[in-house]
Amino acid sequence: MQAVVLAAGKGTRLRPLTDDKPKVLVEVNGRPILADVFDNLIEVGVDEFVVVVGYLKERIIERFGDEYRGVPITYTHQREQLGLAHALLQAEPHIDDDFVLMLGDNIFRGNLGDVVRRQQESRVDAAFLVETVPIEDASRYGVCATNGTGEITEVLEKPDDPPSNLVMTGFYTFSPAIFHACHLVQPSERGEYELPDAIDLLIHSGRTIDAIRLDGWRLDIGYPEDRDEAAARLQSTDDD
């Protein structure tokens, strides 16, 4: 299975750590975030990386070259930072079938393999890990609205008034149907093409979508304190 890794962001909230490097090269526990992402993907069976680069892309290419642990890497360039759906579309020419999508700034320890198995065994159009967060933090993420039976009925990108505290994490699998949805997405109020809006189009078109609860933990490395927390958690895991 191929994996698309989104690694084009500037990481402005991580400054000064990102003054001279892209966000995905910020080190956590002595290793770039992107190396941890690659390791997780190899563990679930990915055999090709398509990495969407942008800000200081040459630093990423210099660091990782054309393969990582024997897995080939193809780079594709997002010239403008226009949102995750726009970033994903840059990978479309390189994707042949169902694929994994992972955000390049997340540290995961958990059941990523469950999502990949669901995609392979059930041939759904999308599957992704979800988790609950404090309601005051939900507006940082793509938020899932659910009905009385717990079925996801809508996803909203960083809403001001979140309908729930169930949020998408940075790990997904998709069929190629997601690309058509990304092409249909209109710019949000932020002027970006949002990935949750594309997933919402899949939901409302009757496509098969599965959400799987994260069994473990993950941290979106958005601020310096997130990097510090991730390092502490990884160190604790290593000590155990």
Domains and CATH numbers, the chain: 2-126+169-180+209-239 (3.90.550.10)
Is pLDDT above 80 for 150? no
What is the structure's pLDDT at 2?
97
Which residue stretches of 70-194 are H helix?
A: 84-89, 112-122, 177-184
Is pLDDT at 131 greater than 80 in this prediction? yes
Single-letter amino acid code for the residue at 214 = L
Task: Kindly write down the DSSP assignment for every residue of 172-226, as one continuous string.
Answer: EEE-THHHHHHHHPPP-TTSS--HHHHHHHHHHTT--EEEEE-SSEEEE--SHHH
Average pLDDT rounded to a whole number, residues 1-12? 92
Q: What percent of the chain has pLDDT over 90?
A: 59
pLDDT digits (tens, 9 = 90+) for 153-195: 888 888 888 888 889 899 999 999 999 999 999 998 888 999 9
Residue 31 pLDDT: 92
pLDDT at position 240, please? 54
Residue written as tokens 């999508």? Answer: 101
pLDDT at 101 (0 to 100): 97
Taking residue 169's Cβ as centre, other Cβ atoms within 10 Å add up to 25
Distance CA 106, CA 209 (A): 22
Task: Give the angle 110-113-116 at the CA atoms, nearest 5°.
Answer: 135
pTM: 0.92
Strands 217-220, 106-109: pairing is antiparallel
Q: What span, in angstroms and rounded, lies between the C-alpha atoms of 68 and 5?
A: 13
Q: What is the pLDDT of residue 222?
A: 85
In angstroms, what CA-CA distances link 140 with 86, 129, 151, 240? Answer: 19, 16, 22, 31
Instruction: Provide, rounded to the nearest whole percent, the portion of the chain with pLDDT above 70.
Output: 97
State mean pLDDT over 86-100.
Answer: 96
Whole-number pLDDT of residue 163: 86
Residue 192: which region, alpha, beta or left (left: phi > 0; alpha: psi -120 to 50)? Answer: beta
Q: Give the pLDDT score at 239.
A: 55
Pick the more confident residue, 203 or 90.
90
pLDDT of 16 reads 83
d(CA 34, CA 36): 5
Please write the tens of the pLDDT for every residue from 38-74. 999 999 999 999 999 999 999 999 999 999 999 999 9
Q: What's the mean pLDDT when you consider all of the chain?
A: 90
**Distance from C-alpha of 140 to C-alpha of 216, rounded to nearest angstrom:** 20
Is 237 a residue whose pLDDT tops 80?
Answer: no
User: Which is more confidently placed, 208 or 61?
Assistant: 61
Question: What would the two tokens of residue 85 be?
Answer: 């759906």
Q: Give the per-residue pLDDT at 158.
A: 85
Instruction: Average the pLDDT over 217-237 and give the result.
Output: 87
Q: For residue 153, give the amino acid letter.
A: T
